[in-house]
Amino acid sequence: MRATMLYGKGDVRFEDVAEPTIQKPTDAVIRLAASCVCGSDLWPYRGLQPVDQPQAMGHEYCGVVEAVGDDVTSVKPGDFVVGSFVLSDNTCPHCNHGFQSSCQQREFMTGAQAPIARVPLADGTLVALPAQPDEDLIPSLLAVSDVYGTGYFAADAAGVKPGMTVAVVGDGAVGLMAVLSAKQMGADRIIAMSRHKSRQDLALEFGATDIVTERGEEGIAKILELTDGVGADAVMECVGTETSMKQAMYGARPGGSIGFVGVPHGVTFDGQELFFAQRKLLGGPAPVRRFLPDLIDQVLRREINPGKVFDLHIPLEDVAEGYRAMDERRAIKTLLRV
């Protein structure tokens, strides 16, 4: 089969690779219903993360089980499954505590920008749907695997509760999903920070009540202005830069919470500053597995449509263009038709 490999900065190739097979008794092999490009794929693509050897790309996935290892009991060939981008056993103490992304056996999914993929720790990672889903739900089910699950964790980590005033830093795909998540969790007022018309529109559609176009100090001032000088009860940080983190920190009220899901690049916190700011911080790779059953239900009930975040649909073989479009900000997020 042909699949996506990253050779180095800007060098994405769709090329022949060996077809994945069951390697361990806890594995499953799935045929993907669709795949996509993640914002985090752009870090190595842009040369901001080293690429020592060609990497099999792709960690977001849903599709039909083709084969399972001898130990797999919770899914079977023919099942339509959605899995988390973090592979977990879902039985260890960290998993039981709801932090499957810190599973004692944690691995990260790879090789999902392909027609077929191997999913290790299948029992702990995959959730089977009760039946084959309608075709039009595929993008939303795919979104659950990472981008919506991550936005949802941002809101969960920030402790979003009904009636709250919240802010979202970042209008990338994850930021937009954080808006949707905050809406689902009952936030009253959702301030989205965005300066791109198409993203503002999607944010408003997902539930944003206010748009702030300013950034940095001015962005913070604007949030304070919108909240009578108080700050937001909860802020979701979905970028991962020093500037975005500062915005999140001082956009939140004292005692307020920041859920940060943008992988920090070049970010440090000064202990004394954090102390006197009195903001609550929780971040990390999202424990999507915790949320999977609930998020799949939201999609199957057609309550939400997170799949709208994919504003570019192209065939898998054009994956290189999918990266380019996101890199050049022509697309928010690229769906790859398999």
Positions 281 through 300 that interact with its own copies (CB under 8 A): 281-285, 287
Q: How far is the CB of 285 from its own copies (least distance, A)?
A: 7
Structure-block tokens of residue 162: 């009904």
Tell me which H or E stretch contains 309: none
CB atoms within 10 A of CB 116: 20
Structure-block tokens of residue 230: 């108080």
Asked if 270 interacts with its own copies (CB under 8 A), we say yes
Q: How far is the CB of 325 from its own copies (least distance, A)?
A: 27
Site mask for its own copies (CB under 8 A), range 37-76, x = bound: ----------------------------------------
Q: How far is the CB of 286 from its own copies (least distance, A)?
A: 10
Determine contact, residues 125/102, Cβ cutoff 8 Å.
no
For 291-317, the DSSP string reads HHHHHHHHHHTTS--GGGG--EEEEGG
Q: How far is the CB of 218 from its own copies (least distance, A)?
A: 21
Asked if 277 interacts with its own copies (CB under 8 A), we say yes
Asked if 246 interacts with its own copies (CB under 8 A), we say no
Amino acid (one-letter) located at 69 = G
Name 224's Cβ contacts closer than 8 Å, sequence gap at least 6: 230, 231, 251
Of 24, 97, 195, 329, which lies in the binding site for its own copies, with binding defined by CB under 8 A?
Answer: 97
Asked if 204 interacts with its own copies (CB under 8 A), we say no
Could you give phi then psi for residue 4, rounded to 5 degrees? -95, 125
Structure-block tokens of residue 179: 């808006």
Total residues at the site for its own copies (CB under 8 A)?
A: 41
Given the rule CB under 8 A, which residues bind its own copies? 93-94, 97-99, 101-102, 104, 157, 228-230, 240, 245, 253-255, 260, 263-272, 274-285, 287
